[in-house]
């Protein structure tokens, strides 16, 4: 959770007008994650369906 909040704070500094919903969409659908073998959470979720 700490990493998630850190990412959110850093993103907010770069994109101050971005809504929380937009951040969530970016985090889940566009941002690749090293721990997920450079896939987005959305991609991993869809693969497991």
pTM greater than 0.85 (yes/no):
no
pLDDT for residue 15: 97
Give the separation between CA 47 and CA 9, rounded to whole angstroms.
Answer: 29
Are 44 and 36 in contact by the 8 Å Cβ rule? The answer is: yes
In the chain, which residue ranges form alpha helices assigned H by DSSP?
Answer: 2-14, 20-29, 41-48
Number of domains in the chain: 1
pLDDT digits (tens, 9 = 90+) for 5-47: 999 999 999 999 999 999 999 999 999 999 999 999 999 999 9
Segments forming the whole domain that contains residue 9: 2-48
């Amino acid at each position: 959770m700490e990493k998630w909040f850190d990412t959110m704070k850093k993103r907010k500094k770069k994109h101050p007008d971005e809504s929380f919903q937009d951040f969530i969409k970016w985090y889940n659908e566009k941002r690749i994650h090293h721990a997920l073998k450079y896939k987005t959470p959305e991609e991993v979720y869809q693969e497991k369906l």
